[in-house]
């Protein structure tokens, strides 16, 4: 059974600081998505990465896919209160089976 | 606007009630999903429909009954629920085989009293 871990579980920072959250799997996956979920709402897709070593940027967010396609990181530069939310990673294996991580709760205070 | 709508947004029901959750997707996708999200737990996949056929049922109790009349609509019929079924129920849709990116609705917050 593929094990998908996200770390840290919780992160509280001040506005303007940088942060990084991680997603690690025990198995190689075909693709990985990052989502952000705000309280009382559904997750919103941020990015999909499929190639080992791939780096994608979305404004102040930088997503990196590990070379071995078993891990990923999300880095936020100069965090803002609007970045507050639950960050979820989802991996899909070569058979189309997907798995959600438990998420990292990020709180950015003004 | 995610293109996936869910109604109602909030629902309180007794253990003997029967109710239904509705999901509609406007994205032209061919797969739809029901998830349960409880506090401090990962999303739990309940059901998957692909081309209106149920392709996955993850050991969900029979008091939850899904229905997919067409590729745009998905229902979750609820009856004789338990208090531990209280959770956020999320619907999602995707285009199977195209990156598996899922688009979620806003969820229905269900409270069973």
Per-residue confidence at A94, pLDDT binned at 50, 70, 90?
Answer: confident
Nearest CB to A102; choose among B6, B42, B90: B42
Kindly determine whether residue A40 and residue B106, on different chains, have CB atoms separated by under 8 Å: yes
* Neighbour-count burial of B66, counting CB atoms closer than 10 A to its CB (0-12 exposed, 13-18 middle, 19+ buried): buried
Per-residue confidence at B27, pLDDT binned at 50, 70, 90?
Answer: very high
Number of Cβ pairs < 8 A linking chain A and chain B: 48
First to last CA, chain A: 41
Kindly determine whether residue A103 and residue B106, on different chains, have CB atoms separated by under 8 Å: no
- Per-residue pLDDT at A26: 87
Residue-wise pLDDT for A23-76, tens only, equals 999 888 888 999 999 988 999 999 999 889 999 999 999 999 999 989 999 999
CA distance B25 to B103: 9
CA distance B109 to B9: 6
**Does A41 touch chain B if contact means CB atoms closer than 8 Å?**
yes
**Does B73 touch chain A if contact means CB atoms closer than 8 Å?**
no
Kindly determine whether residue A101 and residue B109, on different chains, have CB atoms separated by under 8 Å: no
**Does A91 touch chain B if contact means CB atoms closer than 8 Å?**
no
Residue-wise pLDDT for B62-109, tens only, equals 999 999 999 999 999 999 999 999 999 999 999 876 557 899 999 999
**Tokens representing residue B48 in the block:** 């998957």
Q: What share of chain A is helix, strand, coil (3-state, %, to 5)?
A: 5, 55, 40
Kindly determine whether residue A40 and residue B42, on different chains, have CB atoms separated by under 8 Å: no
Greatest CA span in chain B, whole angstroms? 41
DSSP string, A25-76: ESS--SEEEEEEE-TTS--EEEEEE-STT-EEEETTEEEEE-TTSSEEEEEE
Is the preceding peptide bond at B8 cis, omega within 30 degrees of 0? yes
Nearest CB to B109; choose among A33, A40, A103: A40
Q: Is the pLDDT of residue B24 over 70?
A: yes
In angstroms, what separates the C-alpha of A59 from chain B's closest C-alpha? 20
Q: What are the chain A neighbours of B103 within 8 Å (beta carbons)?
A: 45
Half-sphere exposure of B89 (CA within 13 A, CB side): 29
């Amino acid at each position: 059974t593929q094990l998908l871990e996200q770390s840290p579980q919780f992160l509280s920072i001040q506005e303007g600081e940088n942060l990084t959250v991680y997603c690690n799997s025990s198995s190689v996956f075909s693709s990985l998505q990052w989502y952000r979920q705000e309280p009382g709402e559904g997750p919103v897709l941020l990015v999909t990465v499929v190639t080992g070593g791939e780096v994608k940027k979305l404004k102040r967010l930088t997503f990196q896919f590990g070379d071995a396609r078993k891990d990923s990181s999300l880095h936020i530069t100069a965090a803002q209160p609007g970045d507050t939310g639950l960050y979820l990673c989802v991996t899909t294996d070569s058979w189309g089976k997907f798995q959600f991580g438990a998420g990292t709760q990020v709180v950015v205070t003004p | 606007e995610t293109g996936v709508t869910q109604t109602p947004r909030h629902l309180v029901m007794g253990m003997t009630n029967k109710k239904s959750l509705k999901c509609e997707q406007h994205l032209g996708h061919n797969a739809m999903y029901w998830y349960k999200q409880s506090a401090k737990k990962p999303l739990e996949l309940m059901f998957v429909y692909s081309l209106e056929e149920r392709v996955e049922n993850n050991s969900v109790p029979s008091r939850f009954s899904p229905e997919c009349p067409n590729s745009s609509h998905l229902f979750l019929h609820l009856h004789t629920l338990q208090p531990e079924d209280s959770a956020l129920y999320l619907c999602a849709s995707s285009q199977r085989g195209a990156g598996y990116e899922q688009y979620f609705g806003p969820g229905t917050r269900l409270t069973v009293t």
